[in-house]
Amino acid sequence: MFPMNWDIKRVKQEIALVYEDMVESGYTLRFENNKWRGFVSNKKFKILIEVDKQGNITNAYPLKNI
């Protein structure tokens, strides 16, 4: 679950940040459900995003730190 103090705008901003990092890295979209993990702005946890072959985000969720 995303932090309780984050509103929907903040969640979208953090997902966009991870997506931008993916694009800047040169990641190649090859599969139907491509997955990318990246840190949120405060580096406290990662978000996993799934994108389709066209680069559209199909899913995004936070990952627990283990």
18-61 pLDDT, tens per residue?
999 998 998 877 776 789 999 999 999 999 999 988 889 999 99
Asked whether residue 1 is domain-assigned, the answer is: no
Domain count, the chain: 1
CA distance between the termini of the chain:
15
Q: What is the pLDDT of residue 30?
A: 75
CA 19 – CA 13 distance, rounded (Å): 10
Residue 64 confidence class, pLDDT cut points 50, 70, 90: confident
Asked whether residue 48 is domain-assigned, the answer is: yes
- Could you tell me whether strands 46-51 and 34-39 are parallel, antiparallel, or unpaired per DSSP bridges? antiparallel
Please compute the mean of the pLDDT values over residues 8-14 and round it to a whole number: 98
57-63 sheet: strands from edge to edge: 34-39, 46-51, 57-63
At residue 17, what is the residue type?
L
Distant-in-sequence, close-in-space partners of 10: CB < 8 Å, separation ≥ 6: none
Could you list the residue range(s) of the whole structural domain that residue 46 is in?
Answer: 8-63
pTM: 0.85
